[in-house]
Amino acid sequence: MPIVSNSEPITLVGGAPLAWETLNMALNLAPISIAADGGAAPLLAHGRDPIAVIGDMDSISKDLVCRIAKERFHAVAEQESTDFEKCLQRISAPIIVGVGFLGGHLYHQMAAQTSLVRYAHIKCLLLGKLDAVFVVPPDFSIGLPKNTRVSMFPMGEVMMQSSGLQWSTDGLKFAPDSQIGTSNISTGPLHLNPSGPKMLAILPVSHAKLIFASLQNAERWAVL
């Protein structure tokens, strides 16, 4: 059973370096907020009380703990997963907007992107300073302006039909150790049909509102 179940989108905040404009962007899309452990700090500094704090609690300071109601803390002691993954396992919402996961150490970013694919049945959009990252749904359409940067990175073997790209992906076999799809360009509205839940889309964060709406309306992957 999830710790938090909500019918509205949720902003999930991690502890990586986070620009105010990125947090504002997320909260404008999904005003209800949850902290992944130390992600409580930027939320409280922003004047927002998270409805829950989930994680192993090794990154949140004692002075912040005193500012949040005790019943909102949900400690998960196991060390087999990241705090981001612990949250994905315990949140039920139409879509999650994650911030504070794409900054800081590269290995943290790689772990977060691995979790996106591991839980591809959960609609989750990660926002960073420059990029928005998400798992491409089974049938995904978005009205991107012409000449928008579009990057695709496979996290496993996958194929993908597409329209609206300068360099078509049709017939290509993607894999992280062979064919990847970075630095493509849109020629207009984009339509993607991957063969499985293994392809990450990396788009300019300036289109976050459009991406959020398109992802929210897209079909979900089945639970693996």
Contact between 128 and 200 under an 8 Å Cβ cutoff? The reply is no
| Rounded-to-integer distance, Cα 92 and Cα 211, Å | 20
For the chain, which domains are there?
4-129 (3.40.50.10240), 140-194 (no CATH)
Contact between 155 and 198 under an 8 Å Cβ cutoff? The reply is yes
What contacts 24+ positions apart, CB below 8 Å, involve 22-28? 22/99, 22/127, 22/128, 22/129, 22/205, 23/99, 23/100, 25/99, 25/127, 25/205, 25/208, 26/97, 26/98, 26/99, 26/127
Give me the chain's average pLDDT, please. 95
Residue 174 burial by CB count (10 A; 0-12/13-18/19+): exposed, middle or buried?
buried
N- to C-terminal Cα separation, the chain: 17
| Claim: this prediction has a pTM higher than 0.85 | yes
| Rounded-to-integer distance, Cα 112 and Cα 163, Å | 28
- pLDDT, tens digit (0-9, with 9 covering 90-100), for 22-67: 999 999 999 999 999 899 999 999 999 999 999 988 888 878 888 9
Half-sphere CA count of 57, side-chain side, radius 13 A: 14
- pLDDT, tens digit (0-9, with 9 covering 90-100), for 95-148: 999 999 998 899 999 999 999 999 999 999 999 999 999 999 999 999 999 999
φ, ψ at 162 (rounded to 5°): -150, 155
φ, ψ at 220 (rounded to 5°): -90, 155
Alpha carbon 119 to chain centroid, angstroms: 11
